[in-house]
Amino acid sequence: MQLTGPEIMRRMNAENPDIIIRPFDERCLGSNSYDLHLGDTLKVYKHTIPWGMKPALEYKGAPEKHSMKDWFEYPVRFEVYKLNPDEYDIRNPRYLIDPTNPAHHETIDIKIPDTGLILSPDIGYLGTTVEYTETRNLFPYMDGKSSIGRNFILNHHTAGRGDDGFCGQWTLEIRVLYPTVVYPYMRIGQIYYEEFIGERKPYDKNKASHYNGQMGATAAAPVAVDWFLRDAVQKMK
């Protein structure tokens, strides 16, 4: 059962609160959710950026002030791109991500200026919420606001679901369909809370948890490959 906005507020103000949101402003409280905001720093996997290209652009205030050349660090790289676009095609396997390889999760930081930052449809960005949250005895999850969706901004791929006991800022997996401007502190999503049934297994008490207490955009932990399941699969045959 999903909590209403007034119930979110009530639980935040309880003597032993189930919900903590910092900073909190009642103007961001909806009928059954709370609006979350984009932090001022993005991360990009270094391995995925073609040499000589910029992962994002500072917005100059009008689309006509920009061109394809802006994506390149030097004019000569733009000329190379025109002669050999394959080198800069994000589908080129040289830019692949191996989820088990920590080296592929090395990141660079990108500051979002107050004037706005243009994101590329070819790049995946890790963002963070301004808000730090703690949730206990409830199931929290985040989704995009309708206006964010209608601008074709995806703020998470599959990781919009949180856990009972999670404490930290929320990492966002951001993709855009078109070159799109984002701003620090823009409303980027909503957090919802649902009650659940059963004994608790709090995230912050689970030794296998990777991201509890995270602050800022956090790169992926290496994805485990559970080879021990191979024997179980063989026994099923």
User: Which of the residues are catalytic?
Assistant: 173
Is 64 in a helix, a strand, or coil? helix
